[in-house]
Amino acid sequence: MPGTHILILGGTAEARQLAAELTGRGGLRVTTSLAGRVAQPRMPAGEVRIGGFGGPEGLADWLRQHRVHAVVDATHPFASVISANAAQAAAAVGIPLCALRRPGWSAGPGDHWHSAVSLVDAAAQLPALGRRVFLTTGRLGLAAFACLDQLHFLVRSVEPPEPPLPRHIRVLLDRGPFTLEGERELLRTHDIDVLVTKDSGGPATAAKLTAARELGMPVVVVRRPSAPPGVPLAPDVAGVLELLGQLGQLGQLGQLGQLGQVG
């Protein structure tokens, strides 16, 4: 088995890009971990393990057992529990951790964005903004909207949501990337007058924001949870390679010293 073992905490497009970039490099063993929420996940290159670790202690045990040299947290910006667990586990084991955090979206001219600190806050703002809601915050956390009996919801998620759910709800099972034409069509067909989104960032799900802007539609944007303090962040795969390369040059990761120079 090759010497340096990297664990990628995945579940995002960038995690798959990173796995593809690292897998097959001489001397590297690359494992991606998926939470197991999606029945048919898009599989990354390299080794894959699926399911929770059992909290930070379980993750620390796994890191020791599998002789992991470095962890890259490439989970979704809203997956805050696993990110905190990774910080705790990597510190306990004494191995480096860095995180890939794609930049958030920012409002431009013509946007009517309303910032929310949580799904509950987003739900509280909705009655003043519209009656027909396109809810794209994922299948979890819909309980926050369940009490809004007067509003009609179009919910888009990869897997079916579970109760409690709003009384008037239509579910669209789909996963990105989504096109501008498709998003325009969706907003028109369902007569949507307000959009709710997490500030996920990235291009795959940004078209809905453009479509909403074109229609002058209000958008409630749920702010990101903060990343664990002290973890080096990179905005993309190239940035992670650079961080890993720096660790290599510091002698902490052997053959990873050249990574930052490869694109």
| x-marked contacts with ligand NAP along 12-31 as a string, rule CB under 6 A | x-------------------
Binding of ligand NAP by 72 (CB under 6 A): no
Binding of ligand NAP by 144 (CB under 6 A): no
Q: Is the peptide bond before 232 cis (omega within 30 degrees of 0)?
A: no
Binding of ligand NAP by 88 (CB under 6 A): no
Min dist. Cβ of residue 198 to ligand NAP (A)? 6
Binding of ligand NAP by 79 (CB under 6 A): yes
Binding of ligand NAP by 35 (CB under 6 A): yes
Min dist. Cβ of residue 103 to ligand NAP (A)? 16
Min dist. Cβ of residue 174 to ligand NAP (A)? 13
Which residue has its beta carbon closest to ligand NAP? 52
Binding of ligand NAP by 62 (CB under 6 A): no
Binding of ligand NAP by 33 (CB under 6 A): yes
Q: How many residues bind ligand NAP (CB under 6 A)?
A: 24
Residue reference for tokens 């009517």: 112
Judged by CB under 6 A, the chain residues 38 through 57 that form the site for ligand NAP are 52-55
Judged by CB under 6 A, the chain residues 211 through 250 that form the site for ligand NAP are none
Judged by the rule CB under 6 A, the positions of this chain that interact with ligand NAP are: 9-12, 33-35, 37, 52-55, 58-59, 75-76, 78-82, 85, 138, 198
